[in-house]
Amino acid sequence: MDLKKLQRLVIDALEDVKAHDIKVFDTTPLTSLFDRVIITSATSNRQSRALAASVRDAVKDKGGDVISVEGEDTGEWVLVDLGDIVVHIMQPAVRAYYNLEEIWGGKPVRVKLLAASTPRAAP
């Protein structure tokens, strides 16, 4: 699947379950393992698991590959590995503590979110 289509699919799946503060980072200058990191927050463990399931199901429905989903047992930090994109779904306290935004790049890529009237930052 084309990277931009996959990225849009993931963002739409996250928005469908009301993800908070979605950020997308272009990691191509930093690693050859994947091209994008998407970081988002969830308000509860249940929502974290629902967000991960939404992403997984949306990608599978469009014929994409889901390599793995990790962390669903606790739901504090769920990682969805889609090969070219790695999605981190985190509780706000965990997200603040690990500060992945600092690791994966200072400036997110701008992506227009459907739920918001203004474009969101993303890689």
Q: Kindly give the confidence (pLDDT) of every residue in the chain, 123 residues in length, as a single tens digit, with 9 standing for 90 and above.
A: 899 999 999 999 999 999 999 999 999 888 899 999 999 999 999 999 999 999 999 999 999 999 999 999 999 999 999 999 999 999 999 999 999 998 887 667 777 766 543 444 444
Q: φ and ψ at 85, to 5 degrees?
A: -130, 135
**Buried b / exposed e across 10-40, counting CB within 10 Å, b at 16+?**
bbebbbebebeebbbbbbeeeeeebbbbbbb
Structurally, how many domains does the chain consist of?
1
Domain that holds residue 40: 3-121
- We report the CATH number of the domain holding residue 37 as 3.30.460.10
Directed axis angle between helix 45-61 and helix 3-16, to 10°? 140
At 59, list the tokens: 């990608």
The confidence score (pLDDT) of residue 105 equals 73
